[in-house]
Amino acid sequence: MNFRTLDLNLLRVFDQVMAERNLTRAAQRLAMTQPAVSNALRRLREAIGDELVVRTASGVRPTPRAEALWPHVRAALDELRAALDPSAFDPRQNAATFRLAMADATAATLLPHLISAIEREQALTNLRVLPLTTRDPRALLERNEADFAVGYFPDAVAALSHEGHGAPLHHERLWDDEYVCVMRKDHPLAKRVLTLDEFCAAHHLLVSFSGRAHGFVDQALAALNRTRRVVLTVNQFFTAGRVVTQSDLLTVLPRQFVPATGFEGELVTRPLPLSLQGVHVEVLWHQRHDRHPAYRWMLQQVREAAARRREAALRPARA
């Protein structure tokens, strides 16, 4: 490829197609026709020597070469936009797409407040929520596969705090929570204070993004020379709530996530018979976005949505 003759406008088209994974939506965001977007992709394919995207029933799927190229293209475009006009972003005039990696319960409690703010401001902002498959999203952010990660990431936050100001990623606490034991309302253990012996003898469901049947509860039990049997692991809090309502399994969830299961009325919570550290929900992002006004605006929306979420969580207690 001869970079000197490459039309750099093709990279803008490529970036939007990768963000939308749909040629029609990308054309709308770019104020172009779909044939013009298709033609731009064809020219870029010829220049790079790769198909870049493959058509699917719902849009397009990127090739491995496109996945590897996109973080560099997006970072370069962000740097250029910020350098040309650091204050140019207007959410009502400039369309932007942001990718947020978070678990389903985090999304269920945060997104209503976030969408409300976006609609109230009449912002041309699109959100793409990516599923979390790990408790450590640093690699996801460093590879530019997500713009923000929101959740409980104790190992990642501890490592970033140790690195200090030299860390490539930033983090900020959004809210705190505590873990509770969750079971169906008519569970045999639901009518009394749960003892450690009863907790260990019961069968358990574990929400595990990795699929491993061993988590922080098991680590805390091991410190007490105790164990439990994890019968089932799932990777969604909604699924956990559904299964627990229809079985004798116990699960351990952040207290404020119980409503997000969709089955709060069929569940009860009980204090855990062992000590666990609190849940600290954080937002993580890469420093490459710090100078870009669009990302700064989006981060502020996340902060404000988290503040409204905290207020909403306190209302029942005040009543």
Helix (H) or strand (E) segment spanning residue 279: strand 279-286
Sequence-separated (6 or more) residues with CB below 8 Å from residue 236:
103, 104, 207
pLDDT of residue 6: 85
CB 182 within 8 A of CB 267: yes
pLDDT in tens, the chain (319 residues): 677 788 889 999 999 999 889 999 999 988 899 999 999 999 999 999 999 999 998 899 999 999 999 888 887 887 777 677 666 678 888 778 899 999 988 998 899 999 999 999 899 899 999 988 788 999 999 988 899 999 999 989 999 988 877 789 999 999 999 999 999 999 999 998 999 999 999 999 999 888 888 888 999 999 999 999 999 999 888 899 999 999 999 999 999 889 888 889 999 999 999 999 889 999 999 998 887 888 889 999 999 999 998 887 776 544 3
**Class for domain 91-173+287-319, per CATH?**
alpha beta
**Class for domain 1-84, per CATH?**
mainly alpha
pLDDT of residue 274: 94
Long-range CB contacts for residues 66-71, cutoff 8 Å, separation at least 24? 66/14, 66/18, 69/14, 70/14, 70/15, 70/18, 70/144, 71/143, 71/144, 71/145
> CATH topology of 1-84 equal to that of 179-277?
no
pLDDT of residue 317: 46
Beta-carbon-side half-sphere exposure of residue 163 (alpha carbons within 13 Å):
13
CB atoms within 10 A of CB 271: 11
CA neighbor of 175 nearest in space, from 290, 77, 52, 314: 314
The 10 Å CB-count burial string (b at 16+, else e) for 99-119 is bbbbbbbbbbbbbebbeebbe
Q: What does DSSP say about strands 148-151 and 96-102: parallel, antiparallel, or unpaired?
A: parallel
pLDDT of residue 91: 87
Return d(Cα 157, Cα 162) in angstroms, integer. Answer: 9
Topology annotation, domain 179-277: D-Maltodextrin-Binding Protein; domain 2 (3.40.190)
CB 247 within 8 A of CB 189: no
- Side chain identity at residue 37, one-letter code: V
Each domain of the chain, given as residue ranges in start order, spans: 1-84, 91-173+287-319, 179-277
pLDDT of residue 88: 67
